[in-house]
Structure 1
Amino acid sequence: MSDRDKLPIEIAFLVLYGIDRAILRRAAASAEDTDVSADRALLAEGATSAQHFYELLAHHLGVAYMHKPLPISGDQHLDNAMRVEMVRLSPNPQGLDYVLAPRGAGLALVLGRLAQGRWRDHERMAITSPQRLAALIRLHHRRAIVTAASHGLPDWNETLSARAGWSGHQRLSASILGCAMMVGTWFWPEATLAALCLLFSLLFLAMVYVRLLATMWSFGTISDPRPRRPDNSLPIYTIVVPLYREARVVPDLVAALRRLDYPAARLDIKMVVETSDRDTIDALQIEHLPDRFEILIAPAGVPQTKPRALNVALQFTRGSFLVVYDAEDRPQPDQLRKAVDRFERSGDDLACVQARLAIDNSADSWITRVFTLEYAALFDVINPGLARLGLPIALGGTSNHFRVNALCRVNGWDAWNVTEDIDLGIRLARFGYLVDVLQSSTLEEAPYRLKAWLGQRCRWQKGWMVTLQTHSRNPARLFADLGLAGGSAIFAILCGTIVSSLLGPVFVAGVLLQATFGPLLSPHTSADWAWTFLSALLIVSGIASVVLPIAVGIKRRRLFDTAIYVAMLPPYLLLLSYATWQALFEMMGRPHVWTKTEHGLAKNRVRPT
């Protein structure tokens, strides 16, 4: 029996076209190990390109290969475009009736009929690759794709989307509050000022004690590593990487994704690129990506945001689980395996696990060093503590792993929110889902230039404001969804973060003035004593809520050489206040505008080993 006869029928015909038998045997062995078809294993490993494979298949079957898009009939559904293997064509100059992209069992069936002499090509058909066929279907349905990506969530439930802006009740409440403040300031200025100070102090203290409580609850045992799962038991995993003006980092990104310890044939990697971003598209094509990668060009539409791109990809995902990575990310190679293990040891109510983000260009500037400390506090201390408390988590914009069915149930991301991650974490909680943290890290690049940092932080702060606006439209419903503890924690985190960023410098300046020229350090009246006590409480607890999580994060990340940069927190927080005021003004006029952060500019990124 010849080598060709021993090979799976899906790839055996390639021997006739000079493909090395050793390559085909390796693909057959990989297919058996991972329980996929031999053609998928061959193409996923990049042994040959999909275009070359299907060109040879077309030649072998004696039919044409479709290089360019052709019009398809109107009865082709958009659902599961990557699973479709044949579509009917509309009348076209080539006179073709069908285009076929067979895979797995379908490919074996076609080749089996050819071997038995039962293949008939009397129906005028062409062969193409699955990627080209899916792109053809998407082109035919581009209007529906754009509508679903931009308006799927608000059309389903407008109150859960930032598209709606301020509700009538919110406008009325803001008007009444504004009038009350004006009247109070005019007639009772001291009492009004005292009431406002008390209100803002309570919001700040609520955030402070949520952070301190999360820090205390972040201490716990780490689960023991479990035995490595066999490759054939792993589910298909979709990786979505939204890209915009990222040509500079494409080689490093592709290298990082290639390092992932997961069977290639069970990966579904979507590189989502905007139609106008020719440089990034060209950079991806230069990489000659294997079949597990798909360049998914998002049709033009508004708003042009990262969550809209994610929603485009969600419509074509093949995996049971999905993770979002940014262009500059370097996830630990075993992260997907850990996520699968975490999901499958939990109930279906666990919708998302957030990997821990860390900065790998800390040495670039003092800003990146403080940024590193900030990330260590948030992802290694605060988020794990909130998860252990069962409270909603403000997700990071990357390395969040989802159950696809849960993600679809809450209608994906809000295309109109510039911090789609925070919003989605809250929305999942409102639908009864849990979010947890994952004992795995992803390295990221932090902006080291002040202008870039301010632009990024302005977008983040604006997103917090937009998220607060969205989820406060109906406070009673929010508390009904999340319970008293969850609703209170969300309001404390959102309101406290915004208020402290806006008014923190004002408070510090007021304390200094009162200490220098007022009775703060030598109180006489009851009002003086109350102000002194409140100021001391705010200062001590505020410092503790910032420094303690950072101290724990330093220990857990072993960032001892960076610890001295805690001294740079005052100017860092002052810059944060400036970015927050800028975000407030943007919120009024440009709430949905996305400020792009440039990547690939770092000077001292730590190279992965």
Structure 2
Amino acid sequence: MIITRYNIAPVAVQPDSDPASEPLLTPIAPAPGQQPSNGTDVLVPIDSGTAFTGGLLPDWSFGEWAAYSGIVLLALFLTAIATTTLWWMLHAWRSADDLRATQFSASPRPARHRFTLLVPGRHEEEVMGQTLDRLAQQDHPDFEIIAIVGHDDPGTELVVREAAARNPHLIKVVVDDSVPKNKPKALNRALQIATGDVVGVFDAEDEVHPGLLTVVDSKFQETGADVVQGGVQLMNFETSWWSLRNVLEYYFWFRSRLHFHARSKFIPLGGNTVFVTRERLEWSKGWDDQCLAEDCELGVRLSSDGAKVVVAYNPEYVTREETPPTLKSLYKQRTRWNQGFLQVLGKGEWKKLPTLRQRMYARYMLNMPFLQAATGLLIPISIAFILLVKVPTAVALITFLPLIPTVITLVVEAAGLTEFGRIYDKKVRMRDYTKLILGLVPYQIFLAAAAVRSVVRQLRGDGSWEKTEHTGAHRDAAVAPESTAVPVLATAGASETK
């Protein structure tokens, strides 16, 4: 710190001089170690880190300018990503009317469409038989189920054929002999024999409400949609610290974020409980069997062609699933999704969107997994930097900006966990909230690691399909809740919009 001493001294005014032109403070350079004397000297501290050149800009070296500017840009980047995520999370709760608009009709219309339900399965003998039996209980008058199994998977094939024997008029079995195998290849194989004018996709472990096809049929009629995306919800939040966060991801994704994407006319579809008209699937030639995120890829192509996509969510009609059984399995699943987003981004179908705003939004959306991963890594680095590195006050204040939307997001997640427990009749304990808070940074680092791995796989040209195994951990919650009360977040939605 530089200390400048000013000597306050009486000024003798000449008869013909202007007093206003005389100096009141005369600076005197202090000698080393000199102290103010007699109370007449004033010491004015000047911080060399915030001294101003010409009174306008800080007197920093080139290196300081570069470092501090980088810190500020990083803080603004993190703030933008965190704020965007928060805005999407809260979209459905902007008002009670917006929340009701996201739901299926309370009075569905009479059935008009014929449905074909595709259920691919590979090494799913533990769960697929029960899934097919539940699907066969749909109250819709006109539908068929096609189960697809690999030619090298006798265990699953046996379970599927037993289910078909129990429901001979509803379930068909298709054997996929393609090599190597993946989900889009299985779907395209079954599409060749589908007879419905609307095709729906489900996973081998899904718990499906018996009235789902009825309300989906009605939604097609009410909106003239080309695609109807229903809700999917992971259920076993109490299994582990990371399963809790995975469950909440699904909750906000299907409850709110997909509605925002549909309204923006650019939407990556979900992997199941998605229904597409046969006409649109024939136009698209089915699913891209080279893409690891075939659902996202189909949604991008349909959006680029102007297809109308409608998202509907009612807690009682959601398709229930389980989180991956191990952290390693989740890691592989998230890697596959991220790599699929990279493939879709590189494929460039989104460039056909009609407006610049949609194209910029698409680019941002497809990069979002990697931006969020970067955010997850940079937030703890930013916190450590704030605590350990001394920077000018103004720069330090800016570095705290990302914490504001991050803390708000954590509060919203806690409210979402409360709402999830109430809607799905799950008991949420204090330890669950503790896991939610303590798991914030580790989960973001985990997502960042999966994003990095997906980039490495893509650069290596490794497009192999890494399957997610299932154990049926969600089967204890097969009966959907009857209550359709407006969630508690709706009361706060009007004042907490993005």
User: What TM-score results when the alignment is normalised by the length of structure 2?
Assistant: 0.72
The secondary structure found in structure 1 opposite 2:310 is: strand
| 1:259 equivalent in structure 2 | 137
- For 1:500, which of 368, 372, 375 is the aligned residue? 372
Q: Summarize the alignment of residues 331-346 of structure 1 with structure 2, pairs less than 5 Å apart.
A: 331-346=208-223
User: Is contact 1:364-1:603 (8 Å) kept?
Assistant: no
| 2:271 equivalent in structure 1 | 397
| 1:240 equivalent in structure 2 | 118
Looking at structure 2, the residues matched to 307 and 544 of structure 1 have their Cα atoms a distance apart, in angstroms, of 39
- For 2:358, which of 460, 474, 486 is the aligned residue? 486
| 1:286 equivalent in structure 2 | 162
| 1:538 equivalent in structure 2 | 402
Q: Summarize the alignment of residues 33-432 of structure 1 with structure 2, pairs less than 5 Å apart.
A: 191=66, 198=73, 202=77, 205=80, 208-209=83-84, 211-213=86-88, 215-218=90-93, 219=95, 220=98, 221-222=100-101, 225=105, 227=107, 229-230=109-110, 233-263=111-141, 266-287=142-163, 288=165, 289-302=167-180, 304-347=181-224, 350-387=225-262, 389-432=263-306
Deviation at 1:296, TM superposition (A): 0.9
Q: 1:400 to 1:494 in 2, by over 3 A?
A: same
- AA aligned to 1:254 is L
Question: Which has the higher Rg, Structure 1 or Structure 2?
Answer: 2
Structure with a larger share of its residues in helix: 1
The secondary structure found in structure 2 opposite 1:248 is: coil
Looking at structure 2, the residues matched to 251 and 583 of structure 1 have their Cα atoms a distance apart, in angstroms, of 33
Larger RCO (alpha carbons 8 Å, 6+ apart): 2
Consecutive unaligned residues of structure 2, counting only runs of 5 or more, are 1-61, 481-498
| 1:566 equivalent in structure 2 | 436
Looking at structure 2, the residues matched to 469 and 550 of structure 1 have their Cα atoms a distance apart, in angstroms, of 36
Q: CA RMSD in A?
A: 3.1
Looking at structure 1, the residues matched to 456 and 124 of structure 2 have their Cα atoms a distance apart, in angstroms, of 28
User: What TM-score results when the alignment is normalised by the length of structure 1?
Assistant: 0.60
Q: 1:546 to 1:429 in 2, by over 3 A?
A: farther
Percent identity over the alignment?
24
The secondary structure found in structure 1 opposite 2:173 is: strand
Looking at structure 2, the residues matched to 430 and 193 of structure 1 have their Cα atoms a distance apart, in angstroms, of 41
Q: 1:373 to 1:550 in 2, by over 3 A?
A: farther
Q: 1:393 to 1:551 in 2, by over 3 A?
A: farther
Q: 1:438 to 1:553 in 2, by over 3 A?
A: farther
User: Is contact 2:121-2:204 (8 Å) kept?
Assistant: yes
The secondary structure found in structure 2 opposite 1:291 is: coil
Deviation at 1:546, TM superposition (A): 6.0
Looking at structure 2, the residues matched to 364 and 403 of structure 1 have their Cα atoms a distance apart, in angstroms, of 37
- For 2:467, which of 568, 592, 596 is the aligned residue? 596
Looking at structure 1, the residues matched to 76 and 293 of structure 2 have their Cα atoms a distance apart, in angstroms, of 26
- AA aligned to 1:494 is L
Q: Number of paired residues? A: 402
Post-superposition Cα deviations, 1:164-214, rounded to whole Å, max 9, x if no partner, equal xxxxxxxxxxxxxxxxxxxxxxx9998499569848954872574265056
Q: 1:580 to 1:228 in 2, by over 3 A?
A: closer
- AA aligned to 2:473 is A
Q: 1:315 to 1:256 in 2, by over 3 A?
A: same
Q: 1:569 to 1:513 in 2, by over 3 A?
A: closer
Post-superposition Cα deviations, 1:428-472, rounded to whole Å, max 9, x if no partner, equal 11000122212330001112322222221221222222222223x
Looking at structure 2, the residues matched to 603 and 238 of structure 1 have their Cα atoms a distance apart, in angstroms, of 25
User: Is contact 2:418-2:428 (8 Å) kept?
Assistant: no
User: Is contact 2:292-2:339 (8 Å) kept?
Assistant: yes
The secondary structure found in structure 2 opposite 1:283 is: helix
User: Is contact 2:338-2:451 (8 Å) kept?
Assistant: yes
Looking at structure 1, the residues matched to 64 and 461 of structure 2 have their Cα atoms a distance apart, in angstroms, of 33
Looking at structure 1, the residues matched to 187 and 179 of structure 2 have their Cα atoms a distance apart, in angstroms, of 13
| 1:608 equivalent in structure 2 | 479
- AA aligned to 2:264 is G
User: Is contact 1:214-1:386 (8 Å) kept?
Assistant: no
- AA aligned to 2:302 is L
